[in-house]
């Protein structure tokens, strides 16, 4: 039997059993969250807390492992012989990243970590006959020709949409829409790298009903780990992994240890699978693309391959749009007339307050936005109030040193998207509307009191 024919058993959905023995012949048995398939004659086990298993391997290299198909629950038994421990290299890095991501998410960095990737030769693998009395007949998932054609067509359409997009918001909306329609990725997020702040900012999402503006620090949780390591992360059976992480956390706390609070996952609270991809241009991290699902087995190697191709296209597209936006001078004022202000019988009265010390803008005592997007908003409102201006250019924002934009890769476009989203959600009476490449108009449909503190 080839190991590749039971590849589902190595996705980490159902924990596997590992039996070892010491030199005196006393057996030991533990669960491991995942057995890693290295090639058709080798597997790897993660060495985390296996104190006893680790000692046993030094005395007796023979090990038995039982793995389970997560769809049918059929068991397979393997006889293994320990070869070596790897503490660096591509395999170690891949295994370590999955563990780091879960550890980071559950507040257990450093405690819950990969010590070594233990490599084993597979001496024998066999189906455990009679394990199931009434095996669920689930055929191996095959990729149908129809599916393949749809995905290739999808890939072509995503590329076209990305290449046609003139601004970042259109590009990301089109890409996420195509991922949903052609690939079935219903819950997706794109976060952009804010290099100066060492964090990622959610700039687009689909299937969540909001979330733009959510921030993730480098190294935090699944997304932050992918950003730091710049490597793809595919987790199936996410709930099981998080339960394991939480068990470690409880053990540490009950032992008098300290831990920081768990990081909430941006996105689905009950996600079972996650596929997180770094958006890279050579060595530069542009952002992160994450897809989630409530099903434990949603993302396979196929999805990983396709999403990586699309991720590369999105990264190139983002770079092209931002580059163009930064270097091409603003177009002449748009010929398209700006829609007249909404006719509101009684204009609402809103108070916007800018707190200098906190660098934050509040709307009627409720937080609205802070940092660079907050400063941009305040500049626009100030000039509207003092000079009656409603038309602005990206270029003048770039030249205004008081806004604190970095000189290179300023992400102005993404900051304006963020500001537009926040205003749409919290203060629809104030809006920022594009009037052509590099130009926009401020539209106000309320009586505003501007207060600076």
Partner 1 sequence: MSQETSEELLRQFADGGVSVLVATVDADGFPTCCRGIAIAFKNDFESVTIYVPAATAQETIANVATTRRVALACSHPLSHQSMQVKGLTRGVRLAPAADEAFVRQRLDQFARVLDDIGLPRRVTRSIAHWPAFAIDISIEQVFDQTPGPKAGVAVA
Q: Contact positions toward partner 1, by CB under 8 A?
A: 14, 17-21, 25-31, 48-49, 51-52, 60, 62-66, 72-73, 75, 77, 79, 111, 128-136, 239-240, 243-244, 246-248, 250-252, 254-257, 272, 296
Per DSSP, the three-state class of 324 is helix
Q: Which is nearer to partner 1, 60 or 85 (CB)?
A: 60
69 backbone dihedrals φ, ψ, rounded to 5°:
-75, 125
Which pair of structure tokens corresponds to residue 34? 């995942």
Query: Which residue is listed with tokens 């009265």?
Result: 349
Beta strands in 152-223 (DSSP E): 187-194, 199-206, 215-217
Minimum separation from the CB atom of position 434 to partner 1 (A): 45
Residues with Cβ within 8 Å of 364's Cβ and at least 6 positions away in sequence, in order, are 350, 351
Question: Which residues on neighbouring strands pair with residue 432, listed in sequence order?
Answer: 442
Question: Which residues on neighbouring strands pair with residue 119, listed in sequence order?
Answer: 44, 84
CB 175 within 8 A of CB 314: yes
Q: Which is nearer to partner 1, 75 or 175 (CB)?
A: 75
Q: Which is nearer to partner 1, 197 or 253 (CB)?
A: 253
Q: Which is nearer to partner 1, 19 or 446 (CB)?
A: 19
Minimum separation from the CB atom of position 297 to partner 1 (A): 10
Q: Which is nearer to partner 1, 157 or 251 (CB)?
A: 251
- Indicate the burial class of 367 (C-beta count within 10 angstroms; 0-12, 13-18, 19 or more): middle
Minimum separation from the CB atom of position 251 to partner 1 (A): 3
Q: Which is nearer to partner 1, 250 or 424 (CB)?
A: 250
Nearest to 163 by CA among 317, 309, 327, 307: 317
Rounded Cα distance, 99 and 88, in Å: 14
Minimum separation from the CB atom of position 42 to partner 1 (A): 19
Minimum separation from the CB atom of position 416 to partner 1 (A): 42
């Amino acid at each position: 039997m080839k190991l590749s024919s039971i590849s589902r058993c190595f996705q980490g959905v159902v924990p596997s059993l590992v039996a070892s023995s010491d030199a005196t012949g006393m057996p030991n048995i533990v669960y491991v969250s995942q057995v890693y398939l290295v090639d058709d004659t080798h597997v790897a086990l993660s060495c985390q807390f296996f104190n006893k298993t680790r000692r046993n391997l030094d005395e007796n290299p023979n090990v038995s492992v039982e793995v389970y198909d997560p769809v049918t629950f059929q068991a397979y038994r393997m006889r293994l012989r320990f070869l070596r421990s790897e503490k660096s290299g591509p395999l170690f890095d891949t295994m370590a990243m999955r563990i780091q991501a879960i550890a980071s998410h559950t507040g257990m960095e450093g405690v819950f970590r990969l010590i070594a990737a233990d490599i084993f030769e597979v001496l024998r693998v066999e189906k455990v006959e009679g394990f199931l009395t009434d095996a669920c007949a689930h055929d191996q998932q095959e990729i149908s020709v129809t599916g393949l054609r749809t995905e290739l067509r999808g890939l072509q359409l995503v590329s076209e949409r990305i290449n046609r997009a003139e601004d970042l918001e259109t590009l990301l909306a089109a890409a996420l829409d195509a991922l949903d329609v052609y690939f079935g990725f219903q819950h997706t997020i794109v976060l952009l790298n804010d290099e100066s702040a060492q964090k990622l900012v959610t700039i687009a999402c689909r299937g969540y009903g909001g979330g733009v503006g959510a921030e993730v620090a480098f190294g935090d949780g699944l997304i932050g780990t992918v950003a730091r390591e710049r490597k793809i992360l595919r987790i199936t059976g996410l709930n099981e992994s998080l339960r394991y992480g939480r068990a470690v956390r409880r053990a540490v706390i009950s032992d008098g240890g300290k831990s920081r609070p768990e990081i909430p996952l941006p996105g689905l609270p009950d996600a079972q699978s996650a596929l997180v991809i770094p958006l890279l241009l050579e060595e530069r991290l542009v952002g992160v693309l994450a897809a989630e699902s409530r099903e434990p087995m949603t993302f396979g190697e196929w999805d990983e391959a396709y999403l990586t191709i699309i991720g590369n296209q999105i990264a190139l597209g983002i770079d092209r749009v931002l580059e163009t936006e930064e270097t091409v001078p603003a177009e002449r004022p748009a010929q398209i007339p700006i829609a007249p202000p909404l006719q509101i019988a009684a204009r609402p009265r809103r108070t916007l307050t800018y707190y200098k010390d906190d660098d934050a803008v509040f709307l009627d005592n409720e937080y609205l936005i802070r940092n660079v997007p907050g400063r941009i908003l305040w500049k626009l409102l100030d000039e509207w109030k003092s000079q009656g201006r409603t038309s602005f250019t990206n270029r003048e924002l770039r030249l205004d040193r008081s806004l604190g934009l970095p000189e290179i890769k300023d992400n102005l476009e993404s900051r304006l998207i963020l500001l537009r989203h926040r205003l749409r959600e919290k203060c629809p009476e104030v809006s920022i509307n594009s009037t052509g490449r590099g130009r926009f108009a401020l539209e106000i449909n309320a009586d505003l009191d501007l207060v600076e503190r």
